[in-house]
Amino acid sequence: MGDSSGDGLPADGEIPVHDVELRGFEIDATPVTNAQFARFVDSTGFVTDAERFASSAVFHLLVAAPASDITGPVAGTPWWIGVRGADWRHPGGRATSLAGIDDHPVVHVSWNDAAAYCDWAGRRLPTEAEWERAARGGLDRAAYPWGDDPIDGSDGVWRANVWQGAFPVRNTAEDGWIGTAPVRSFSPNGFGLWQAVGNVWEWCADRFDAAYYARSPLADPAGPDAGDERVLRGGSYLCHPSYCNRYRNSARSRNTPDSSMGNAGFRTVGLRA
């Protein structure tokens, strides 16, 4: 587990590379879709954090909302725009809907929302060790789920949904998508997981600590006992070498558990007997 290619960011804590032993587990082939999340909400009446806060972060090229809904750019990342009314049902703002994207990953869901879905479904979020094991698809120390070939490959084949062009002003969409893609786009890895990297960040169960790998246990590590942020894995459709090279098996990110944004979702694992 960890960054064996030397591409990690020190602040993300991808080192040291270390051995991990895991009990067997069962994980979703894809991130949870809009259709799946809608069934959860229809069944429970659940209200997401973005809906409670009445606002969420939308990438600037994907905003579709009245001017009165725009609260302005997010400090430090001006390509993210605060949009009132943006939520899982309206991923770009009030002028958008889920029409035609039932099979895309649900976004604008916080860690809290993902955990609530898991409780309803009788499942749980993966630990980041489980997530990384599954993302690797059986390939030891490879940078990506398919191996070490680059995203676009020498053969010109796109292998994941990431940014192409000049970030953050122009996305050429050479891979076919500007925002999210259907969850079964591109090809699955050796374990049958689709889009473990790219498309959307995926929440994991663990709290985040950049120094955790140096002290994590060998067997079934579950993250630190304390911390204000939760781990995200896999990168998203916004990843690009000039800005975010986190579309790798070992890449880590984090956010507070009540945070939501237009490029983060989750997949689940089965409860152990």
What does residue 114 show for φ and ψ, rounded to 5 degrees?
-65, -40
Sign of the Cα torsion 119, 123, 127, 128 reads negative
Percent of the chain with pLDDT over 90: 89
Residues 250-270, mean pLDDT to the nearest whole number: 97
- The CA angle 91-97-99, to the nearest 5 degrees, is 125
| Mean per-residue pLDDT of the chain | 96
- State how beta strands 165-166 and 170-171 pair: antiparallel
Please say whether the beta carbons of 65 and 93 come within 8 A.
Answer: yes
Q: 72-130: per-residue pLDDT in tens?
A: 999 889 999 999 999 999 999 999 999 999 999 999 999 999 999 999 999 999 999 99
Task: Kindly list the distances between the CA atom of residue 191 and the CA atoms of 27, 99, 182, 246, 247, in Å, as whole numbers in the listed order.
Answer: 10, 31, 19, 21, 18
Can you give the pLDDT at residue 223?
97
Helix 34-44 to helix 111-121 angle, to the nearest 10 degrees? 70
Q: What are the residues whose beta carbons fall under 8 Å from the beta carbon of 111, sequence distance 6 or more?
A: 125, 203, 230, 255, 256, 257, 258, 259
The letter for the amino acid at 189 is: N
Please say whether the beta carbons of 10 and 213 come within 8 A.
Answer: no
Query: Where do the DSSP E strands lie in 132-212?
Result: 165-166, 170-171, 201-207
Can you give the pLDDT at residue 64?
98
Q: 181-193: per-residue pLDDT in tens?
A: 999 999 999 999 9
Can you give the pLDDT at residue 15?
96
Closest CA to 191 of 269, 119, 264, 111: 269
Helix (H) or strand (E) holding 55: strand 55-59
In the chain, the N- to C-terminal Cα span, in Å, equals 25
Q: Which homologous superfamily is 1-10+26-273 in?
A: paralog of FGE (formylglycine-generating enzyme) (3.90.1580.10)
Can you give the pLDDT at residue 66?
97
C-alpha radius of gyration, the chain, whole number: 18
Residues 155-171, mean pLDDT to the nearest whole number: 91
Can you give the pLDDT at residue 189?
98
DSSP character at residue 116:
H
Residues 4-25, mean pLDDT to the nearest whole number: 94
Can you give the pLDDT at residue 239?
93
Q: Within 13 Å, how many C-alpha atoms sit on residue 240's CB side?
A: 16
Can you give the pLDDT at residue 193?
98
pTM of the model: 0.97
pLDDT of 256 over the 80 cut: yes
Q: For residues 122 and 155, what is the distance between their CA atoms, to the nearest angstrom?
A: 42
Can you give the pLDDT at residue 245?
86
The residue ranges of every structural domain in the chain are 1-10+26-273
Q: 124-158: per-residue pLDDT in tens?
A: 999 999 999 999 999 999 999 999 998 887 788 88
Can you give the pLDDT at residue 273?
63
